[in-house]
Chain A
């Protein structure tokens, strides 16, 4: 860190706002990144962190607010402008080209050239190899990217950012899919970059990481800047309170329900290369959560139970009936409902109305002689819309006009209309604002009180800890720990998820 640059932020974002249609993703976001400093940005899902990242990446242009680099105002009108300004981004979701080689992925658009502006492949492969050596990983630069594991994809993303020698490095949850050793190595790299004077913006849900490796933290909530402080001047509790902005008990209204008979019994479920020996059960009146890192195989468990993916071994029993392999229809008939992770792609038909979407899974009951009764369809939708307190204009409005939280209620209504005995719900509140989040949680709590068994998958640790009666932690396709509501805390779940078991055997 050079002395003279002290005091002048490398990058300043001041009161940036960005709206998408009616949704205000960012209201006033401000952040200052100093050279040689790692700056953590924390906030709940939907707080606007990813939108802020996209503004720094030049992908979105803010509706208002200013951006300055080394004190000079700049306008980033595209990814190339951001790159030229010395900003590089590691995205949360890897953005790779599956058909191209790893080295090409790293250097796309910036390939080293030789005479006649031709790509110098040997030099490109060599440089990629050097970056991997620096990161301490053994990846073949000439391998095509298709088929890389999530962790390796993330490493390619990191290599991409390092290769451009930028002095502002933005990392959007880079550690979510990495093992502890890889995370440690990444922090080593971050430290090296800081010594060279780079400013690092680090987005993470793991607050321990924030305290261990960042010097400053900025907290955002609902698109607003809340607070910024050096890490020495703030405690973890203060951060959490600023992030949530309300009492945790309000957000997770979990009441103890009467636990009844077994609804779901999974015995030695395996899927070659993905899942190994998964065994557990879910009873009436309880919420069982599957926790773990991205890529641990949680959604895959749901898909294998429901029959979307074939099981290569194992038996799934619902209310004493063995489910046939690879048949979602059989699972539905047995009383299983699956609310998928990706609402827009898998849960809803975005251009159809609320009524049609709610009725989709119950068309058999609504039709006579193969013809669907529109009246019954509307009645069904109206019933569930009022039971789930859906906020909508008219029932025939396309679901694409609803907010994320209300869309999720439509998906829930669609499945609850079938009166299931087991509800599998994958990321119940992803991308939903805090208010509606609490509502979805209340709905789930009400459902188990009525005797439904719920298998919940969630990447949000507070949600898992707040809502689940039992927690199954997964890592690399296996269940590594089963924790009761009382045993579980942030630490014990993360340990099992990252493989640092301390006495808590699987």
Chain B
């Protein structure tokens, strides 16, 4: 009897251990990329360059947090890139017409714009049961179109943005850019919530086995809806910060972010079929992609290589995950066979 159940799980199969290994792995690759690039170009490690690196990664990381919430439930949100653009433009437009508007209101509006779009995505996906890939792809194009109409060739220029607002984009605290601190705070809060609240665990349950989640009484539709709303709200916040960082918005703002974010999330160890992954991993994935991006620039490699390398990294991450899970399955199988022989 004891032979059947006792001391079964190989240690690596314990909860979370696999993920922690993944996060450490990304950290190591990150340091390696950073170190090698610095050897080639000493300027890469100076404060200014690192600050730029962190600010750029902060936006993708924030989008990655929202995307992780959605992907963990076996859905995907492709509309985030265009939400960034729309939110950045609307906030910028508000500031240029109402110059005295309080800075905080800019964020509130940005978040609200994103949350509304997220709610539409979430409603169609969760209540009408339309695959989120289709819903958010359609939303991506719809918002791009609206964006074009609203912007109508008008470009938001730095002079129309209050200085206090633009300052958020370049201010630092103890040498760390505010943007990176804001992103880190978002990552920390969501990571804690995903781990410690029932609603957070529900998201994993939904992605891991939807039928079992329904049988366990998990309010599946409500949770999926919330995940989309949060993803939208974070994209809206990222848009508001995009405005602060660049102080300039045109119709192309945020173009292509959606795929960059999905890539960062998957590289960060979030299972594309749901149920597994952490926002910390996703944020590290974003940092890694952005670091490689900047490293190539610093090493004077043609910009065309950027996307090719991001793609290769994505394939590598997915292949690695697959290989790992096959290996775990095989080990578990022979471990089981071994003690049946007893």
Contacts and interface: CB of A to CB of B under 8 A. Distances in A.
Contacts of A256: none
A143 B5 contact: no
A477 interface: yes
Given A97-B213, A109-B218, A118-B197, A181 B1 contact: yes
Interface string B317-342: 00000000000111011111100100
B197 to A, nearest CB: 6
Interface stretch (A65-73, A100-108, A199-207, A481-489): A100-108
A119 interface: yes
Contacts of A209: none
A476 to B, nearest CB: 5
Given A83-B217, A152-B8, A181-B1, A118 B212 contact: no
Contact of B217 (A80, A98, A272, A276): A80
Contacts of B217: 78-80, 83, 109
B198 interface: yes
A129 to B, nearest CB: 13
B337 A273 contact: yes
Contacts of A139: 5, 8
A138 B2 contact: yes
B215 interface: yes
Interface in B30-71: none
Interface string A27-61: 00000000000000000000000000000010100
Contacts of B212: 95-97
A208 B120 CA distance: 57
A147 B201 CA distance: 20
Given A59-B215, A272-B337, A97 B208 contact: yes
A91 interface: yes
Contacts of A403: none
Given A117-B197, A138-B6, A151-B4, A91 B209 contact: no
Contacts of A273: 330, 333-337
B9 A108 contact: no
Contacts of B207: 99
B336 A149 contact: yes
Contact of A95 (B1, B7, B215): B215
A140 B8 contact: yes
Contacts of A152: 4-5, 8
B14 A143 contact: yes
Interface in B239-295: 271, 275-276
A274 interface: yes
A1 interface: no
A119 B4 contact: no
Contact of A155 (B5, B209, B216): B5
A449 B330 CA distance: 42
B8 A91 contact: no
Contacts of B205: 97, 100, 108-109
A148 B14 CA distance: 12
A111 interface: yes
Given A59-B215, A97-B275, A274-B337, A143 B15 contact: yes
B285 to A, nearest CB: 18
Contact of B202 (A59, A109, A181, A274): A109
B209 A140 contact: no
Contact of A99 (B8, B9, B275): B275
A181 B1 CA distance: 7
B204 interface: yes
Contacts of A149: 4, 336
Interface residues of A, number: 47
Contacts of B211: 95
Contact of B216 (A98, A109, A142, A146): A109
A146 B218 CA distance: 20
Contacts of A476: 340
Nearest to B211: A95
Nearest to B276: A99
A57 B215 CA distance: 8
A267 interface: no
A263 B9 CA distance: 42
B214 interface: yes
A57 B217 CA distance: 10
B334 A272 contact: yes
B316 interface: no
B127 interface: no
Contacts of A140: 8-9, 14
A108 B271 CA distance: 20
A101 B216 CA distance: 15
A19 interface: no
A373 B158 CA distance: 69
Interface in B299-330: 328-330
A146 B196 contact: no
A272 to B, nearest CB: 6
A144 interface: yes
Interface string B1-32: 11011111100011100000000000000000
Contacts of B6: 138
Interface string A110-151: 010100011100000000000000001111101110111101
A95 B5 CA distance: 19
Given A140-B9, A149-B336, A104 B215 contact: no
A182 interface: yes
A104 B195 CA distance: 11
A273 B216 CA distance: 32
Nearest to A78: B217
A491 to B, nearest CB: 23
A179 interface: yes
Nearest to A141: B15
Contacts of A113: 198
Interface in A144-168: 144, 146-149, 151-152, 155
A303 to B, nearest CB: 14
Contacts of B198: 109, 111, 113, 117, 119
Contacts of B335: 273
A138 B7 contact: yes
B197 A104 contact: no
Contacts of B202: 108-109
Given A91-B215, A109-B202, 20 more contacts: A83-B217, A95-B216, A99-B204, A99-B275, A99-B276, A100-B208, A104-B15, A109-B198, A109-B217, A109-B218, A119-B196, A136-B1, A147-B9, A147-B332, A179-B4, A182-B4, A272-B334, A273-B330, A273-B337, A274-B333
6 closest Cβ pairs, A-B complex: A273-B333, A273-B337, A147-B332, A95-B212, A80-B217, A97-B208
21 contacts: A57-B215, A59-B214, A59-B215, A91-B215, A97-B205, A98-B208, A98-B275, A100-B201, A100-B205, A108-B202, A108-B213, A109-B217, A119-B201, A140-B8, A140-B9, A144-B14, A147-B329, A151-B4, A155-B5, A274-B333, A477-B337
Interface of A: 57, 59, 78-80, 83, 89, 91, 95-101, 104, 108-109, 111, 113, 117-119, 136-140, 142-144, 146-149, 151-152, 155, 179, 181-182, 272-274, 276, 476-477
